[in-house]
Structure 1
Amino acid sequence: MRETLCRMIMDFVQEEPGNRFPEGGAPYFTEPLIGFAAADDPLFAQYQTVIGPFHLTPSELAQREDPPWRPATVICWALPISGETRRSNRSETTYPSRAWALTRQHGEAFNAALRRQVVQFLVDAGYRAFAPQLHPAWREYPDTPVGIACSWSERHAAYAAGLGTFSLNDALITPRGIAHRLGSVVTDLAIEPSPRPWSDHRSNCLWYREGSCGACIGRCPVGALSKEGHDKAICRGYVYGAVPEAVGERYGVSSTGCGLCQTRVPCEERIPVGKKTPSP
């Protein structure tokens, strides 16, 4: 069932028209990375301390289903943003490229369609499933000790599923880099968890691994990044306020993203090589 599920996800990303730019037909995303975490992995309980008590575990979400049920697995994926789109964003210094903005809006709509597709695939196979990002219990909390946060973090789920580790700018560095969109689905189908082959939760980031790099700091046009980390409030105000106000109408989208700190950096498309090699 694991192989069948992975193939379905791969085929959907490759063949679904929603993963295509309206002109030219080039894909928003290339071949996905897929990982699995046990729904009862202690990490999900730890996230209620790391992120906040409002962050719901897979079991808490499943208990809000009608009727409640016991989850077994969290299926996670990373959708790497295409090379052409990443290249278009490298030369930008203030606002994202049009291709990046279209990927943020229409590509994320495709990601939501993928979430629904995975849920339907599992339900049709006789299992129970839901996508936390689309769950009625999903909430955003604008003022928490860690800044703006949500009741489910796709990044933290992906870390639990072995897809990557965190970076100075709070994103996830996967074997295919930091420029991607993430998704997840919770199910009662039992699938063996993926290994987490990292020495710690930040080992793929050169800054945390050896105190070098910090390229993302210089890429941020509003100073939301520093050696101390990521100022979510400044970042969000720019990404959801100033940027769409400046280029949203011209690009024909309401959500633009930014992505400057995810392009023209050593971790854009790979785990960066430094003086110290991450484990493994």
Structure 2
Amino acid sequence: MDIQTISQAMTRFLNETPLNAAADIGLAKIYDRPLVGVASAQDALFHELKEEHVVGSDHLTPAEWLSTAKSVISYFLPFAKEVREANRQGDLPAREWLYARIEGEMVNNALRQFLVRFFEQSDFQAVSPGLEPRFTVVNGKSNWSERHIAYIAGLGTFSLNRSLITPAGAAGRLGSVIVSLELAPTPRRYQTYDEYCTKCGGCIKRCPPQAIDDSGKNNAVCARYLDGTKARFKPRYGCGKCQTGVPCEQGVPQPSFKISGN
């Protein structure tokens, strides 16, 4: 088994599952083709995530989730064009984005479950931390950060707004599975954690609660705004304005790109 086989199986799942749509609002597809990367479970960067200035001491290594861990498969699910285009408009989150954020995470969880079964059927052990009872989020920090996992797996680097910029952009969702199968790691084609971000300031201008500045994102301000959207659009919530209508929405921006006025 190789990464191409795994990627093809994931793509088939997304194409075939009725979950990857929101028919009641006429949204034919939530996610496009996934972007998939692999990290060795022994990569030293997993231990660096325990440092307080990175994620924190509560962050678990692959072996702490699965004792037989050999590889970590990370993936990025890019939001479909219709979702992204809708959210470029207006000051409030688009209805399509709200569905993609909530129903889209249901798709993501179903994909996690599919992958665990997929590997177990081939006699490998597998676990998806995002589905596990041990998975926790405290004060905005989780014990398994999908963004940091994706960075280690070669999928992309961080932006000013703390999204992950991948070759398929930043507008989407992340997931991962730890397996006892040994796979060739995906090369990290970057040297620094924020190499793909041009610091253009686009996300600063797009942020409704002004939670982003040249030093990064204020998570508390962002969280309060999201709480407000939950009250307004219950049972859904979200924003995503900083991930749409910006140069990194659907790809890695050109290094020379700058937003006027910055």
Tell me which interval the TM-score lies in, with the shorter structure as reference length: over 0.9
Counterpart of 1:236 (choices 223, 228, 236) is 223
Query: What aligned pairs does 1:202-241 form with structure 2 within 5 A after superposition?
Result: 202-207=194-199, 213-239=200-226, 241=227
Conservation of the 8 A alpha-carbon contact between 1:92 and 1:260:
no
Conservation of the 8 A alpha-carbon contact between 1:101 and 1:256:
yes
Conservation of the 8 A alpha-carbon contact between 2:32 and 2:78:
yes
Deviation per CA, 1:217-263: give whole Å up to 9, x if none: 11111111011111111111111x10121233xxxxx2321100001
Deviation at residue 274 of structure 1 after TM alignment: 2.7
Partners of 2:163 and 2:90 in 1: CA distance: 19
Deviation at residue 76 of structure 1 after TM alignment: 0.8
The two structures, once aligned, show a CA RMSD in angstroms of: 1.2
Deviation at residue 275 of structure 1 after TM alignment: 2.3
Say if 2:239 is the partner of 1:258: yes
Which sits farther off after the overlay, 115-124 or 216-225?
216-225
Deviation per CA, 1:112-151: give whole Å up to 9, x if none: 0000000000001100001011112111111xxxxx2000
Q: Which residue identity lines up with residue 193 of structure 2 in the other structure?
A: H
Counterpart of 1:60 (choices 52, 61, 64) is 64
Q: Which residue identity lines up with residue 11 of structure 1 in the other structure?
A: R
Match of 2:149 in 1: 157
Counterpart of 1:190 (choices 182, 196, 202) is 182
Partners of 2:178 and 2:166 in 1: CA distance: 21
Match of 1:44 in 2: 46
Which runs of 5 or more residues in structure 1 are unaligned?
63-68, 143-147, 208-212, 249-253
Conservation of the 8 A alpha-carbon contact between 1:131 and 1:184:
yes
Secondary structure of the residue that 2:19 maps to in structure 1?
helix
Q: Which residue identity lines up with residue 193 of structure 1 in the other structure?
A: P
Match of 1:90 in 2: 88
Q: Which residue identity lines up with residue 94 of structure 2 in the other structure?
A: S
The percentage of counterpart residues that share the same residue type is 40
Deviation at residue 25 of structure 1 after TM alignment: 5.4
**Any runs of at least 4 consecutive aligned residues in structure 1 with deviations exceeding 4 A, and if so which?**
none
Partners of 1:83 and 1:258 in 2: CA distance: 16
Deviation at residue 37 of structure 1 after TM alignment: 0.5
Counterpart of 1:270 (choices 243, 251, 255) is 251
Match of 2:69 in 1: 71
Equivalenced residue count is: 253
Match of 1:10 in 2: 11
**TM-score normalised per structure 1:** 0.88
Q: Which residue identity lines up with residue 272 of structure 1 in the other structure?
A: P
Q: Which residue identity lines up with residue 266 of structure 1 in the other structure?
A: P
Partners of 1:255 and 1:157 in 2: CA distance: 26
Which runs of 5 or more residues in structure 2 are unaligned?
258-262
Counterpart of 2:98 (choices 101, 105, 115) is 101
Deviation at residue 10 of structure 1 after TM alignment: 1.2
Q: Which residue identity lines up with residue 184 of structure 2 in the other structure?
A: E
Deviation per CA, 1:20-66: give whole Å up to 9, x if none: 1123351100011000000111111000011100011111112xxxx
Secondary structure of the residue that 2:49 maps to in structure 1?
helix
Partners of 1:115 and 1:102 in 2: CA distance: 19
Conservation of the 8 A alpha-carbon contact between 1:141 and 1:149:
yes
Conservation of the 8 A alpha-carbon contact between 1:128 and 1:188:
yes
Deviation at residue 265 of structure 1 after TM alignment: 0.6
Match of 2:231 in 1: 245
Partners of 2:179 and 2:55 in 1: CA distance: 23
Structure holding more helix per residue: 1
